[in-house]
């Protein structure tokens, strides 16, 4: 199986590195500046007692000329449109695209561009970040990719993708409802992002102040209500895990959206929050805390991207 990993950041770099180390035929589609850094330093993974260094197979968009069997798409939603254009030469009649973005809006984007036959559903569960050297730092144990046909039917290509992931030590449980899994991840990440972005701190810092402990469950109730109204209720067991995660005393946990916010970088506000509250309005579900988080992040977005807002 020929695999193209679009992006070699914290998520794509992690899963691509695991696949490459396991002997899979993996190429990373990267920007020229990232390609130069990777050629000089290699692709490095650290954390949780692991140190891995690879010399990755790289390609830039101008040199991409053949189709791949599998495309793992793991970019920020703000880079989705450009990434989709860049990877187009890699998509042939037999190509499966597995997007590992949060939310749901990217599915419409990709199926509109490539057709529904090429796109699978995808959920990534991994806690990684990039350090100042561009190395991938693993901060917690999960290493999971859930994938499946968007219509829920069994397929040989899903089986082949899951087999490749499993052989690389990546947990890839089967599912008959990958769209539901995507919604459930959306509830989790929007809750965690709202708690930390509204509270301007880690989970533990928010929970340590008066009133902070109740924020997580309140946001979770809103997000879960949207999923239920959309036909994808989150199982009680998953709700309980999310509630514990966003209220854990002393937890240093922060999502990438919070880290982007406090670092003055653009965020995925529209993809994660804007789309969610738009669906909530259409479904008649009130989401005052998610609305407030969206408002704050939109103000931040306008501040850091003045050129895109007519300034």
User: Whole-prediction pTM value?
Assistant: 0.94
Concatenate the DSSP letters of all residues of 73-111 into one string. Answer: E---GGGHHHHHHHHGGG--TT-EEEE--SSSHHHHHHH
Radius of gyration of the chain (CA): 19
pLDDT higher than 50, residue 311: no
Query: Which comes out higher in pLDDT, residue 310 or 6?
Result: 6
- pLDDT average, residue stretch 294-302: 97
pLDDT higher than 60, residue 308: no
Q: Count CB-CB contacts under 10 A for residue 245.
A: 17
d(CA 1, CA 162) in angstroms, rounded, equals 12
d(CA 27, CA 230) in angstroms, rounded, equals 37
At 299 the pLDDT is: 98
Are the C-beta atoms of residues 230 and 279 closer than 8 Å to each other? yes
Residue whose C-alpha is closest to residue 267's, from 254, 248, 280:
254
- pLDDT average, residue stretch 7-24: 95
Q: Which residues pair with 45 in a beta bridge?
A: 52, 136
135 φ/ψ angles, rounded to the nearest 5 degrees: -80, 155
List the alpha helices (DSSP H) in 177-286.
178-199, 203-207, 215-229, 236-245, 256-262, 269, 275-283
Question: For 236-289, how does the pLDDT look when each residue is reduced to its tens digit (9 = 90+)?
Answer: 999 999 999 999 999 999 999 999 999 999 999 999 999 999 999 999 999 999
pLDDT higher than 80, residue 310: no
Are the C-beta atoms of residues 73 and 6 closer than 8 Å to each other? yes
Question: For 62-120, how does the pLDDT look when each residue is reduced to its tens digit (9 = 90+)?
Answer: 999 999 999 999 999 999 999 999 999 999 999 999 999 999 999 999 999 999 899 99
pLDDT higher than 80, residue 306: no
d(CA 122, CA 11) in angstroms, rounded, equals 13
Question: For 262-276, how does the pLDDT look when each residue is reduced to its tens digit (9 = 90+)?
Answer: 999 999 999 999 999
Residue whose C-alpha is closest to residue 79's, from 3, 8, 183, 142:
8
Longest alpha-carbon distance in the chain:
57
In which residue are the tokens 């050629």 written? Answer: 39
pLDDT higher than 90, residue 307: no
- pLDDT average, residue stretch 20-39: 96
Are the C-beta atoms of residues 90 and 29 closer than 8 Å to each other? yes
In which residue are the tokens 């899963």 written? Answer: 15
Question: For 119-138, how does the pLDDT look when each residue is reduced to its tens digit (9 = 90+)?
Answer: 999 999 999 999 999 999 99
Residue length of the chain: 311
Q: What percent of the chain has pLDDT over 70?
A: 98
d(CA 165, CA 157) in angstroms, rounded, equals 12
Give helix 156-167 / helix 12-21 axis angle, nearest 10°: 80
Q: For all residues of the chain together, what is the average pLDDT? A: 95
At 50 the pLDDT is: 86
Cα-Cα-Cα-Cα dihedral of 182, 183, 187, 193, to 10°?
Answer: 50
Least confident of 127-141, 161-175, 176-190, 219-233: 127-141
């Amino acid at each position: 199986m020929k695999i193209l990993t679009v992006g070699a950041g914290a998520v794509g770099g992690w899963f691509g590195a695991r696949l490459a180390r396991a002997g899979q035929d993996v190429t990373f589609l990267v920007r020229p500046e990232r390609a130069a850094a990777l050629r000089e330093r290699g692709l490095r993974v650290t954390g949780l007692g692991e140190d891995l260094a690879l010399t990755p197979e790289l390609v830039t968009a101008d040199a991409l000329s053949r189709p791949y069997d599998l495309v793992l798409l793991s970019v920020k939603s703000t880079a989705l449109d450009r990434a989709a254009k860049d990877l187009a030469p890699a998509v042939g009649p037999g190509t499966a695209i597995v997007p590992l973005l949060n939310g749901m809006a990217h599915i419409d984007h990709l199926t509109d561009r490539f057709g529904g036959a090429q796109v699978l559903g995808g959920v990534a569960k991994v806690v990684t970040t990039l350090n100042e050297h561009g190395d991938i730092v693993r901060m917690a144990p999960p290493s999971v990719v859930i994938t499946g046909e968007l219509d829920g039917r069994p397929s040989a290509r899903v089986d082949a993708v899951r087999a490749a992931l499993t052989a690389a030590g990546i947990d890839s449980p089967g599912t008959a409802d990958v769209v539901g899994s995507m919604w459930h991840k959306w509830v989790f990440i929007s809750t965690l992002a709202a708690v930390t972005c509204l509270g301007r701190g880690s989970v533990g810092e928010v929970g340590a102040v008066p009133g902070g402990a109740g924020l997580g469950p309140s946001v979770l109730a809103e997000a879960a209500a949207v999923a239920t109204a959309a036909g994808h209720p989150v199982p009680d067991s998953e709700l309980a895990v999310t509630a514990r995660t966003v209220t854990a005393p002393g937890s240093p946990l922060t999502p990438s959206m919070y880290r982007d916010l406090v670092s003055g970088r653009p965020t995925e506000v529209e993809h994660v929050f804007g789309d969610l509250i738009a669906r909530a309005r259409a479904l008649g579900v009130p989401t005052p805390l998610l609305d407030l988080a969206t408002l704050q992040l939109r103000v931040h977005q306008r501040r850091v991207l003045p050129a895109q807002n007519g300034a």
